Structure 1
Amino acid sequence: MTTALEKNRTAPAPTKNVGRSIDRVDGIAKVSGGARFSAEVPYADIAHAALVHASIPRGRVTGIDTTAAEAVPGVLKVLTHQNAPKMIPSAKPSIMDLSTMAPGTPINYLNTDEVHWNGQPVAVVVAETLEAAHAAARLVEVSYESRPAVTDFAVAQDHPKPVKGSLIEVGEVKTGDAEQALAAAPVAVDLRYTTPGQNHNALEPHATTAAWDGDRLTVHDATQNIDWVRKHLARRFGVPVAGVRVIAEFIGGGFGGKGSVWAGTVLTALAAKVTGRPVRMALTREAVNRTVGGRAPTVQRVALGAQRDGTLTALVHTGVSQVGRAGGGVEPVASQSQYLYAAPAILVRHSTAEVDALPNTYMRAPGEAMGSFALESAIDELAVELGLDPLELRARNEPERNPTGRQRFSRRDLRAVYARGAREFGWSGRDPKPRSMRDGRWLVGWGVAAALHLPVHLGGDVLVRLRADGTVLVRSGLQEIGVGVATVVAQVTADALGVPVGAVTVELGDSEQPTAPGAAGSTQTSSATAAVLQACEQLKRSMLGLVRRSSPPLRDATFTDGGLFRADGAGRSYSEILGDAGLPSIEARTGSDSRLGQAAGQVRMMTRFLADRRRWVHPATGAHFCEVRVDPDTAEVRVTRWLGVFDVGRVLNPKLASSQLRGGVVMGIGAALTEETLVDPRSGRIMNPGLGEYHVPVHADVPRIDIGFIDEPDPTTPLGLLGVGEVGITGVAAAVANAVHHATGVRVRELPLTLDRLL
């Protein structure tokens, strides 16, 4: 009898390139300086813009004196709410048009005198030089009428609002009566964890270059979603979507901070329209911190009930996260707790608390990154209560199906992950007693944590063109944010058409190319490669038609090594087939350029997405094994060894996938030990808006990070892959905290684990 899983199985074809650690196709351009970023695009007669930020958290602007700023040599214009042209407000978010989710906030910049957070742009200075723009911006004097404001999350969290829940946001999910089961459990822990706000500090700060030609707008933007930026700007300026071109050849890191449209992008386009000149705005680190959302602070409750053998009977995970009064969304900290452990009674619930602050936004593994700190720390604490090995406790509670929705897992083998990680890390040598392991004067601790993230699989369009010389061109409006998507697309295309990977050229980063999904949600690679396979199949059908109509016709041939050949050796290369047909090339594409066609494609994609979600859960999973050394006198923490083992489906390029996962681990180490956005509760101003005060991990903070894969394909996806972009950070902070507890006997339930919290 054929099972439902077998009906959905797609057996991967034999490959020569997929699965190999091929170097990045753009590697030389990046290390040699040949890669061009949004602040480096040359334009004649370009002007530069700088922002003026509000200095109060809530109120209205009562006056702006620009006299001194306008007197600075080279200043062209100072835009304020008093003289800026009106823009069309943002559309309300709709699941049927995902581009409506583009704006980081609905605030209509410079079209209102209302102030909603300390740092909101209240003016833009445009000048001949960058130096003149910034000098003049410092001279703009703004007066305000302040209004009562809430700027301290510690105060706001006492007045949470439950999240109703939708296709976009997770509200409450429950199965059984978790509170009752918790009360009846022979062993239980009921704990409170807190995580701070964190800010985006990508290698490339946000930057935009904009130029108008009549009613046509060209924008070079550091964005993770070209299509969203295009449609958003078209609406804001009242021009056809086809009249806006967005280009993002390379992006120097995104992590979610470049996934929405923020003030810099919109106001650069506005400044270019007003001045009639190309305008560039490269945000300073401070401007990024004050105008681009980051991760919200949270307070979480995790309560676990268990039998004395470690079998979970209850799991409660609730969280309150900060949102701005002017926007932002819930940080779904309990999202992984729906899926990770097989408790018969589970309750997850999310609430938000409004603060007069910059709206929060996506940051690598939103929800799971901070929620896993609480859940995986609590699992460790329960293991201590039970006297069980924390790895054994996790393995004993592996579910066969989704515990809350009963869907099947498309693939999941965390027990194999745990076993491999334990073997390679040497977990059996761990003395479970805290403060029992030493290296000289250093206290040594080992910690473990599980990782789970649900990648999203969306639609995307590509064009594949096979030329008579045997080379292939792939075009798609993908975003290269550093993951190596062009390399993987080239590998998949080469194998699908039987050509060398060096014969494939991938053009991306332009809205004039077929529309692609954003680089977010661990979705871009899986979506793009699925579209490539579809286009290649269309192209091969066209080639079959050509050879069957040729003289003499070639029948019963299959595609291999750059052409169609029969078992007896007869056949023709692609060059011969196209030459015989008198064609310079042949191409195929997915999707449509028309507005109606794109709308229909959106409906089909959402229908497939919802149907798939009712049937399957597609978890990317893993486990982190961490070793720390802690100075017993100063409480200095050093992470000295790391192993991450992951089950992410088929690994298309181990070198690139390992790099992605290592990056997630490094980011998680930052969250565990150093990263914290500090806000003055009196004024709502971010006190550490730059890399001089906001501490990210440096080389001395990061050990060798070993990465391993199960590398078994997911049978429900075209290439068997899931997604690796975000699962790498999930569980990292908990692994560090658990190792620190093992080393010191001190349990810290508040991030980051700074010296004062350990002493």
Structure 2
Amino acid sequence: MTKTFRMDEAQPRLLDETGQGIVGAPLDRPEGPKKVSGRAAYAADGLPENAAHGVLVRATIPQGRVTRIDESSVSEVAGLLGVFHGPKMTRNPAQGMAGAAPVQPGNEVHYHGQPIALVVAESFEAARDAAQRLVVSYDADADVITDPSRSETHEQDDPETAGDFEAAFAASEVTLDRTYTTAPHAAAAMEPHAAVAEWEGDALTLRGALQMLRFNKKELADSLGIDPEQVRILSPYIGGGFGSKLGIGPEAVAAALAARELGRPVRVVMSRQTVFDTVLRRTETSQRLRLGADKDGRLRALSHDDLVSNIRDEGFAEPVSQASQFLYGAEGLSFTQTLARVCRTPTGSVRAPGEAVGMLALEQAMDELAEELGICPVELRLKNLPDKNPMTDQPFSATRLADCLREGAEQFGWAGRKPMGERREGDWYVGMGVASAARSNMLIKSAARVRLTGDGAVVETDMTDIGTGSYAILGQITAEMLGLPVAKVEVRLGDTSFPGASGSGGSFGASSAGSATFLAAKAIRETLAERMGCSLSELTLQNGIARGGNREMPLSELVDEELVEEASVEAGDTADSHFSAGFGAHFAEVAVHVYTGEVRVRRMLGVMAMGRILNEKTARSQALGGMIWGLGSALTEKLTHDPRTGHLATRDLANYHVPAHADVPGDLKVVFLEERDDMANPIQTKGIGELGISGAGAAILNAVRNACGARVYDMPATPDRVIAAMDAAGF
């Protein structure tokens, strides 16, 4: 029976009392040897016997309708097994079979590159050949809008407000009104999206690259018109996701449909170009920041309005002003979002949706205001930190942002920062920049099962590991709670036959799945305390030895048969009474070339308070990865669309420039401040991965301004834009 726990009150810090020192330690990831040796099986690895190969066919118009798919155009391709499309699905016409199983419901096309059919053949090469040859007829719309600024279909939300912004802005002694734009971004995970579908009777097993299996199982069942209990998804190893693998994708649905019709396994793997064309992107943004302050630097008014995009009928809109609504206090706050409907690849969650791009603008605006006021940018931020969420009036459950700013300034040598343009080394201007970091924290319903034998323990949950360290931290929590060496704990993940977890997304995975694992292990501790004849508070479990009630006994003797407990955790009253968020501060030093405008990041420091750190090594890796992504958002990353068709021109990693080793400074450092968030979850943790990106790019761009006077309002700050901004500033 599952024991369900609601987070209704502050939690005791049991992990501070267990005394093993396993939680928090910088331990290696247990699956690491498998990954570096090629033995870790990803979605497309290890084909079942008799598997066929599928390749997606994608639309070549930006908007309209498919009027005909001519299967006869590929009937001569050797090894062809079927052409699957909706609303009708057909195999090779020579086989004379047809049935109802849409790969893409209906015949409407919403964007260039939309999957509209699947070709399946005996070999990948044959399937690819047929997919390229397949003749598709369209009724293309004449009036196509691919540019959000030109869209006539704008959906504007009512402003979210606190206080009277207009009055506070008008009464401010110093005001700032700026517009910043950010380019669209791709998740660009290392592992392409892939699925292998295999049916046994009415039961489907899908090996997929998916982040949130508890939800994906229901999504896939709904797409196939079957009961979720007929679906099993396996995703033990995932080569990155960053939001792009949150929901069920066309590769999984298409593979399952084709496999059911053909009566044999089908594998569908997207090419890198298909991933870029098809998979959800981060929206471009246009952001207007209006700040008003008194001359002493006290903010009186803050408004953050944004324009984002998506295709018709899609509900997602990037929460651009999410951090702006709680990071700084002011008398008048106002936030308005406008959603433009365009014919481009749909938009969705990409790492740190909202903060990643919203803080690029907010934190530059704060620096511009500091410049107008003649106040140190660190001091301006410190002056305006609230003790509660300004929009909801909830007190923060835990915040050390002021400490992060002060500690970062001290460690980075902020006191040695020169006035704008005054530090030059040969042909390079050199400058420093700062930005706050903030990311809201969540607890998502999650379950886990823990088994304890005399020799060790097993953790079972459908939680995923997208390269973030789930295998490591769940093993550490279990080992800490049950007094075992971490090598004695086996962690089994990525299988929907296990208890349903939160999945990996929103930086809530470790806290949610970790709390469920903690609670299941805690229930086992209660049984062990009963057997020892002591209270739970008296029990200690260390190095395989149980102590309590004036007794000492090896676990191997105390546990004569397997002890099994399953626990579930979910948000409760504390989510309403308190606001939980991770906070930090980024510092950057850059060099800008006098003649070319090239920006080189010399060093970066992130000082972060993220609740309890479960594994110092994996946490550091996540924070560094976020900071590097922030560098890319600021300087290199940009999806470019053909304005006529919405077709992506930057469709691979040769043209979409993620930061390479040469772009990333060797002096890249993260410092974690000790923190516990008793209101967040039973293990006092907060999200990590997305906090690292939030604000990081702004620190770099603020450093560029300090170095050479260039303020780039259209990001990324490529050399041509930096040169133009330097000219405008008189440098």
TM over 0.5: yes
C-alpha displacement of 1:109 = 4.0
State the one-letter code of the partner of 2:114.
Q
Alignment map for 1:205-224 (pairs within 5 Å): 205-224=192-211
2:109 to 112, 115, 118: 115
1:418-437 equivalent positions in 2, closer than 5 A: 418-432=405-419, 434-437=420-423
Inter-partner Cα distance in structure 1 for 2:318 and 2:566: 37
For each residue in 1:613-642, what CA deviation from the matched residue of structure 2 results, as whole angstroms up to 9, or x when unmatched?
Answer: 321111101111011111111111111111
Of residues 63, 82, 88, the one that matches 1:83 is 88
Contact 1:630–1:638, Cα closer than 8 Å, also in 2: yes
Q: Which amino acid aligns with 1:460?
A: S
Structure 2 CA distance for partners of 1:348 and 1:734, relative to 1, 3 Å: same
Q: Deviations over 1:99-157 (max 9, x none)?
A: xxxxxxxx974331211111111221101111111111110111111114443334346
Q: Which moved more, 1:331-340 or 1:5-14?
A: 5-14
Is the Cα contact below 8 Å between 1:679 and 1:685 reproduced in 2?
yes
2:671 aligns with one of 698, 708, 720: 708
Q: How does 1:273-672 map to 2 (within 5 A)?
A: 273-432=260-419, 434-469=420-455, 471-548=456-533, 558-561=539-542, 562-566=544-548, 568=550, 570-579=551-560, 583=561, 585-591=562-568, 605=570, 608-609=571-572, 611-672=573-634
How many residue pairs get aligned? The number is 703
Contact in 2 for aligned 1:173/1:338 (Cα 8 Å): no
Partner of 1:341, secondary structure, is: coil
The one-character-per-residue Cα deviations of 1:441-471 (angstroms, maximum 9, x if unpaired) are 11111111111001211121111111123x0
Query: Residues 81-230 of structure 1 correspond to what in structure 2 (within 5 A)?
Result: 81=86, 83-84=88-89, 109-156=103-150, 160-163=154-157, 172-230=159-217
1:32 matched to 2:37: yes
C-alpha contact (below 8 Å) 2:507/2:690 kept by paired residues: yes
SS of residue in 1 equivalent to 2:674: coil
Q: Tell me, in whole angstroms, the C-alpha distance in 1 between the residues paired with 2:173 and 2:386.
A: 21
Checking the alignment, whether the CA contact within 8 Å between 1:626 and 1:643 is kept in structure 2 is yes
1:257 paired with 2:244, answer yes
- Aligned equivalents of 1:556 and 1:481: distance in 2? 36
| Candidates 728, 731, 736, aligned match of 2:700 | 736
**Which of the numbers 685, 691, 705 marks the counterpart of 1:727?**
691
Q: What's the CA shift string for 1:283-327, capped at 9, x where partnerless?
A: 001111121111011111100000001110100111111011142
CA distance in 2, matches of 1:407, 1:624: 26
Assess if the C-alpha contact under 8 Å between 2:26 and 2:616 holds in 1: yes
SS of corresponding position for 1:590: strand
Deviations 1:467-525 (A, max 9, x none): 123x0111111101001111111111111111111111111110011111120111111
Asked if 1:13 corresponds to 2:7, the answer is: no
Structure 2 unpaired stretches of 5+:
1-6, 92-100, 724-731
Q: Distance in 1 between matches of 2:616 and 2:535?
A: 39
Query: Deviations for 1:195-215, whole angstroms, at most 9, x for unmatched residues?
Result: 111122111011111111111
Taking a change above 3 Å as real, the CA distance of residues 573 and 144 of structure 1, as seen in their structure-2 partners, is same
SS at match of 1:68: helix
- What is the Cα-based RMSD across aligned positions, in Å? 2.1
- CA change 1:122–1:567 in 2 (3 A) is closer
Q: Which amino acid aligns with 1:675?
A: E
Provide, for residues 66-92 of structure 1, a one-character-per-residue CA deviation record: whole Å limited to 9, x for no partner.
Answer: 323231111111112263289xxxxxx
CA distance in 2, matches of 1:294, 1:674: 16
What is the alpha-carbon distance in structure 2 between the residues aligned to residue 109 and residue 631 of structure 1? 52
Matched-pair contact (CA < 8 Å) for 1:262–1:291: no
**Which residue of the partner structure matches residue 44 of structure 1?**
49
Asked whether the 8 Å contact 1:678–1:688 carries over to 2, the reply is: yes
2:673 aligned partner, one-letter code? I
More deviation, 53-62/149-158: 149-158
Q: Distance in 2 between matches of 1:681 and 1:201?
A: 22
Q: Decide whether aligned partners of structure 1 residues 673 and 328 sit closer, same or farther in structure 2, where only a CA change above 3 A counts.
A: farther
> Residues 108 and 566 (structure 1 numbering): CA distance in 2 closer, same or farther, change over 3 Å?
same
Please say if residues 326 and 390 of structure 2, whose CA atoms lie closer than 8 Å, have aligned partners that are also in contact.
yes
Q: Deviations over 1:223-242 (max 9, x none)?
A: 00111221111122222211
What letter is aligned with 2:464?
Q
Structure 1 position 357, deviation (Å): 2.2
CA distance in 2, matches of 1:297, 1:671: 11
Contact 2:174–2:294 (CA under 8 A) maintained in structure 1: yes
1:543, distance to aligned residue in structure 2 (A) = 2.8
Give the whole-Å Cα distance in 2 for the aligned partners of 1:546 and 1:737.
61
Task: Give, in whole Å, the separation in 2 of the partners of 1:500 and 1:462.
Answer: 20
Deviations 1:13-51 (A, max 9, x none): 243201111111111111111111001033101111101
One-letter amino acid of the counterpart of residue 744, structure 1: C
1:109, 1:322 → 2: CA distance?
25
In structure 2, C-alpha distance between the alignment counterparts of 1:733 and 1:179, rounded to whole Å: 30
1:736 and 1:501, CA in 2 relative to 1: closer, same or farther beyond 3 A?
same
Task: Show the counterpart of 2:4.
Answer: none
Distance in structure 2 (CA, Å) of the matches to 1:225 and 1:555 = 34
Aligned-pair identity (%): 39
Cα gap change, 1:158/1:375 in structure 2, threshold over 3 Å: closer, same or farther?
farther
Local SS of the residue matching 1:380: helix
Letter of the 2:593 counterpart: D
TM-superposed CA distance for 1:703, in Å, is 0.6
Identify unmatched segments of 5+ residues in structure 1: 87-106, 165-171, 592-600
Flag the 1:314–1:133 CA change in 2: closer, same or farther, 3 A.
same
- Alignment-mate amino acid for residue 398 of structure 1: L
Q: Which residue of 53, 61, 64 corresponds with 1:56?
A: 61
Contact 1:443/1:632 (8 A) holds in 2: yes
TM-score under structure 2 normalisation?
Answer: 0.93
